[in-house]
Amino acid sequence: MSGISITPYFPFCRINILSQSLKGTTSHIQARPDKRYNPVCYVCKSRSVLVHKWVQRSIRDLNLCSAFVSIDCSYRQIYCLICGRYLLEDLEFFEPSRRVTKRFARHIHDLCKILTVQDVANHYKLDWKTVKDIDKTFLEEGYGQTDYSDLTVLAVDEISIRKGHTYMTVVMDYLTGRVIWMGMGRRADTLMKFFDGMTEDQIEKLEAIAMDMWDPYIKAVETRAPHVKIVFDLFHMVKEFNKIIDRVRIDEYNKASDSDKCVIKGSKYLLLKNPENMKKNEEKEHFDRLLALNKTISKVMILKDTLKLIWTCDSRKEAKNQIIQWCSLANNIGHPAVNSFAKRIKRYEYGILNHCDFPIHTSRIEGVNNKIKLIKSLVNNPV
């Protein structure tokens, strides 16, 4: 009689291995609870002798050589006096809500670090949603708790997660590039939840936060951390001014003669480009003709270039003078949209001047947001 045993490959103390059989490429392991142990409630871990009924489940385990392993395990449903309800016993080697062993789940999570969800699912002949849920559970256990340690400079931005203006707020440690916290929505109370998780000492250590000119975020910072300096980002400011340029272009096109319209027409995206990014011949020539033709558009383009110069100032006094000069030139153009933007610059002047003390921006978190979008796309549409 052979003394070879497969029991050492299944070192689960609360069950006994009864037998094994091979059907095709799957090895079926028959197991049952070790009766030397009283059943334990998987919720509160209390012992119980009130067995309600026996149930059976097939649980996927690590492969044994080239064979898939299925543990066909009988176990008990008990009535827990502590929890006051019927629950499954805890056999320790698997979670009652899963159809895989704990060690197999850990292995799947480790593979997901270097392979796609679909690749792991194909390798083990599993549903990709099962693999995704397993990986998600481990990620939540490892990164679900917010780490507020050593935070001084932050960056905050929103990311669109689906159509219909559904957003998520992302907070990043500006100095390390670490994503600290994410919350559904982009309202004031969304960002307030981030600050609510911090101690008073941690809030006091915060010095600055980079963001765009979104009033709900501003309100949250001023309410929860009023000492923190808000720094407005150049990228978002130029992005908003590009909308003003397009408004001016449309108005000038409507007022122009037929011959002038031919020059203004098709210049929407040309006006958004920086001169160094234009094609040397065709686009550069078109741009020069447009500026020579229309003084209003020419002045607006000068405003765009001088707007960027404000963020290059080293002192608050110098930046203040640049803002005054910029607003004066903007008001001289006499266009309602430009005048409105000049008022906006004055309203948010404090955040622009704070850039002199903390030369930070949101480009780092924009890069992180792009990675989040890519990850979300790969998870929802595995390839």
Enter the pTM of the model.
0.69
The tens digit of pLDDT for each residue in 204-234 reads 999 999 999 999 999 999 999 999 999 998 8
* Percent with pLDDT over 90 in the chain: 41
Query: Sorting pLDDT into bands at 50, 70 and 90, what band is 379?
Result: low
7 Cβ neighbours under 8 A, 6+ residues apart: 17
The tens digit of pLDDT for each residue in 307-336 reads 999 999 989 999 999 999 999 999 999 899
Residue 52: predicted pLDDT: 86
249-274 average pLDDT score = 84
Q: Which of 93, 85, 78 is nearest to 14 (CA)?
A: 93
Query: Sorting pLDDT into bands at 50, 70 and 90, what band is 1?
Result: very low
CB–CB of 151/173 below 8 Å? yes
Exposed e or buried b for every residue in 39-67, given b needs 16+ CB within 10 A?
bbbbeeeeebeeeeeeeeeebbbbbbeee
Indicate the Cα dihedral angle 157, 161, 163, 164, nearest 10°.
-60
Residue 82: predicted pLDDT: 87
Residue 8 corresponds to which tokens in the numbers above?
A: 């050492």
Distances (CA, A) of 270 to 25, 36, 171: 63, 80, 34
* Percent with pLDDT over 70 in the chain: 96
The tens digit of pLDDT for each residue in 282-307 reads 788 888 888 888 888 889 999 998 99
Does pLDDT of 276 surpass 80? no
Does pLDDT of 255 surpass 70? yes
Residue 124: predicted pLDDT: 92
Whole-number Å distance between alpha carbons of 341 and 303: 11
Does pLDDT of 268 surpass 60? yes
Judging by DSSP bridges, how do beta strands 67-80 and 26-33 pair with one another?
Answer: parallel
27-41, 131-145, 271-285, 347-361, range with the lowest pLDDT: 271-285
Judging by DSSP bridges, how do beta strands 85-88 and 166-173 pair with one another?
Answer: unpaired
Q: Which of 196, 259, 183 is nearest to 224 (CA)?
A: 196
DSSP 8-state secondary structure symbol assigned to residue 13: T
152-176 average pLDDT score = 87
Q: What is the DSSP string of 248-274?
A: HHHHHHHHS-HHHHHHHTT-TTTTTS-
Question: Which region holds residue 334: left if phi is over 0, alpha if psi is between -120 and 50, else beta?
Answer: left
Burial label for 187, CB within 10 Å (0-12, 13-18, 19+), is middle
Q: Which of 379, 374, 383 is nearest to 135 (CA)?
A: 379
Tell me the three state secondary structure of residue 270. coil
Burial label for 143, CB within 10 Å (0-12, 13-18, 19+), is exposed
Tell me the three state secondary structure of residue 157. strand
Q: Which of 13, 113, 107, 112 is nearest to 62 (CA)?
A: 107
Rounded to 10°, the helix 336-347/316-333 angle is: 160
Whole-number Å distance between alpha carbons of 300 and 241: 9
The tens digit of pLDDT for each residue in 93-147 reads 888 888 899 999 999 999 998 998 899 999 999 999 999 999 988 888 877 778 8
Whole-number Å distance between alpha carbons of 217 and 89: 48
Specify which residues 32 forms β-bridges with. 16
Distances (CA, A) of 139 to 103, 132, 143: 16, 10, 6
Q: Which of 255, 233, 244, 270 is nearest to 358 (CA)?
A: 233
The tens digit of pLDDT for each residue in 59-101 reads 999 998 888 999 998 888 888 888 888 888 888 888 888 889 9
DSSP 8-state secondary structure symbol assigned to residue 278: S
146-150, 156-160, 260-264, 339-343, range with the lowest pLDDT: 260-264
User: Over the chain, what is the mean pLDDT?
Assistant: 87
Residue 361 backbone dihedrals phi, psi, to 5 degrees: -150, 175
Residue 119: predicted pLDDT: 92
Does pLDDT of 380 surpass 70? no
